[in-house]
Amino acid sequence: MNITCLIIDDEQLARELLREYIDQMPNITIVGEANKGKDAVDLIDQLKPDLIFLDVQMPGMNGFDVLDEITHDPHVIFTTAYDQYAIRAFEKNAVDYLLKPIDQERFQLALKRAVERMKLEQNNVGELLRNIKTENKTSYDSHIFVQKSEKLINLAVEEIMFLEASGDYTILTTKNDQFVSSSGIGKLEEILNPETFIRVHRSTIININFLKEIEKHFNGGMIVKMQSGKSFPVSRTYAKLIRKKVV
């Protein structure tokens, strides 16, 4: 597997160390570097790397801001000197979280995890993707098969209220139940009708038929509130999809 990657860090020494580690690994190519968040957004969407090494603390725009702004969806390994952002990083579906100074053995483990996740997605595992026709994107199946314990449940797609990324998996929530898919949320987005299922965040897709209201904030941000009482923030990247529904 050939992997393209991007290094994003405001510290030159940190970039040089990552470059040294990456150069020793087979089948991975550095396609660019950035030392500012804004430049990183432009490079990610332009070069569309498979993987990015992303620093959290950068002047102007931090690593989380970068992920909220991009339209491309790369795999992410966070690199930072601060451990307090780990939970938030994994909520962003990060592959790994490396603390500086980065040990080479720990770096190799993170890269191995990234490769394994990519292979998993390429293999198209998970009952959802195996049971939905993807050849014709103008037609979408009304039912899918999802696993529950040792059984496969015939689930009406219209019953799915929202989907949430959880590490390598995706949690599908209906009114009465939850199901776990081994497919990433990006893969599931490809097989859902975009007229009904709207991505509002890197880690969230909602069914607009279960959307109760949209709350606007003074800073331009938005929160979608579902009929179930659950609320989700709308990232700036996906806010335009919501605005298209406003008449």
Question: What is the CATH number for 138?
Answer: 2.40.50.1020
Residue 241: its pLDDT value, please?
73
Q: What is the value of pTM for the model shown?
A: 0.55
DSSP state of 159: G
Residue 122: its pLDDT value, please?
63
Q: In whole angstroms, give the CA distance from residue 110 to residue 89.
A: 14
Q: 149 and 110 in one domain?
A: no
CB 121 within 8 A of CB 113: no
Q: 134 and 115 in one domain?
A: no
Give pLDDT tens digits for 160-215.
Answer: 999 999 877 889 999 999 998 877 888 888 888 888 999 998 899 999 999 999 88
The stretches of 24-167 forming alpha helices (DSSP H) are 37-47, 63-69, 86-91, 104-122, 127-130
What is the percent of the chain where pLDDT is above 70? 89
Does the pLDDT of residue 128 top 60, yes or no?
no
Of 77, 92, 122, the position where a domain reaches its end is: 122
Q: If pLDDT is split at 50, 70 and 90, which confidence band does 24 have?
A: very high
Of 63 and 184, the one with more pLDDT: 63
Which domain covers residue 172, as residue numbers?
Answer: 127-243
Q: If pLDDT is split at 50, 70 and 90, which confidence band does 216 have?
A: confident
Does the pLDDT of residue 140 top 50, yes or no?
yes
Strand, helix or coil for residue 70: coil
Does the pLDDT of residue 112 top 80, yes or no?
yes
Buried b (16+ CB within 10 A) or exposed e, 156-179: ebebbbbbbbeeeebebbbeeeeb
The stretches of the chain forming alpha helices (DSSP H) are 12-23, 37-47, 63-69, 86-91, 104-122, 127-130, 185-190, 239-243
